[in-house]
Amino acid sequence: MKLRRISTAVAAAATLALVATGCGGGGDKGKDGDKIVIGIKFDQPGLGLKTQDGKYTGFDVDVARYVAKELGYPEDKIEFKQAPSAERENLISNGDVKFVAGTYSITDKRKARVDFAGPYFLAHQDLLVRADDTSITKATDLNNKKLCSVTGSTSAQNVKEKLAPEADLQTLGGYSECLNGLQNKTVDALTTDDSILAGYAAQKEHQGKFKLAGLKLSDENYGIGLKKGDKDLQGKINKALEKMKSDGSWEKAVKEHFGPANYKYEPAPEITEKG
């Protein structure tokens, strides 16, 4: 009996050690133990951009850093991982990132796979046109005009199917290509979220060349995506977002990254994604 009790105790201790090891690998500290891994966009100026010198800049990046700091991670403990739109749910579900902050609109379809904290920003689908163009002031003005967006864009289809069926839709590989077309007058307008458009228009090399039409063709509530069922993390992120608003950091970040585009952004939205 004594031997059996000792064997049982050893087995129980081994099981607890395995469980502890499994928890320690992820937890609040990401996969490296002492770091947190966060998914962001690498190719969206003003929101999430990896610069040529390897730095990360943008409004979403500032939000991610602020939240990480409130979770106990200084900047040198943050690892940013590229999170393309089509891969965000997989990165979260697989545990490759702790959370994603990358123009991540909260939708019912996405909430079937992940949970969200926030929202922390309200964007709208809009149009970007040349600064001297007065011919496009509403969506229907795009009829018989050349509209550009990226391949697979729901924004472009929304305009084509619902607002301007006679628009000449051209889809290219990236927004930068559309911007070049807009500048060279081979296209008349570019459509996607106004925050993304403002980020491009605010770039130093683009300042004064383009303007937002100021249309609100859809509501896009950006949230922070996290693993489904992690209510503890959701609550901590929401608390951090509330603090970011109350201490002025949210407003400062918005003005820094979008100000040069004269972007009429919405006030910080009320947090609705709660456990």
- Both tokens of 216, joined, read 């609100």
| 137-142 average pLDDT score | 95
Looking at the DSSP assignment, which residues form a beta bridge with residue 148? 170, 190
Each residue's pLDDT tens digit, 46-101:
999 999 999 999 999 999 999 999 999 999 999 999 998 889 999 999 999 999 99
CA distances in angstroms from 233 to 61, 80, 116, 118, listed in the order given: 18, 18, 10, 12
| 242-263 average pLDDT score | 92
Give the per-residue SS3 of 112-139. CCEEEEEEEEEEEEEEEEECCCCCCCCH
| 120-134 average pLDDT score | 95
Specify the CATH superfamily of domain 124-212: Periplasmic binding protein-like II (3.40.190.10)
Whole-model pTM?
0.80
Whole-number pLDDT of residue 11: 47
Whole-number pLDDT of residue 2: 44
Q: How far is Cα 30 from Cα 100, in angstroms, rounded to an integer?
A: 13
Whole-number pLDDT of residue 152: 67
- CB-count exposure of residue 61 (10 Å: 0-12, 13-18, 19+): buried
Each residue's pLDDT tens digit, 4-49:
444 444 444 444 443 333 433 334 444 445 899 999 999 899 999 9
Closest CA to 179 of 210, 137, 133: 210
- Residue ranges, comma separated, of all CATH 3.40.190.10 domains in the chain are 29-122+221-261, 124-212
| 260-270 average pLDDT score | 89
Length of the chain equals 275
- Classify domain 29-122+221-261 at the CATH topology level: D-Maltodextrin-Binding Protein; domain 2 (3.40.190)
Whole-number pLDDT of residue 33: 59
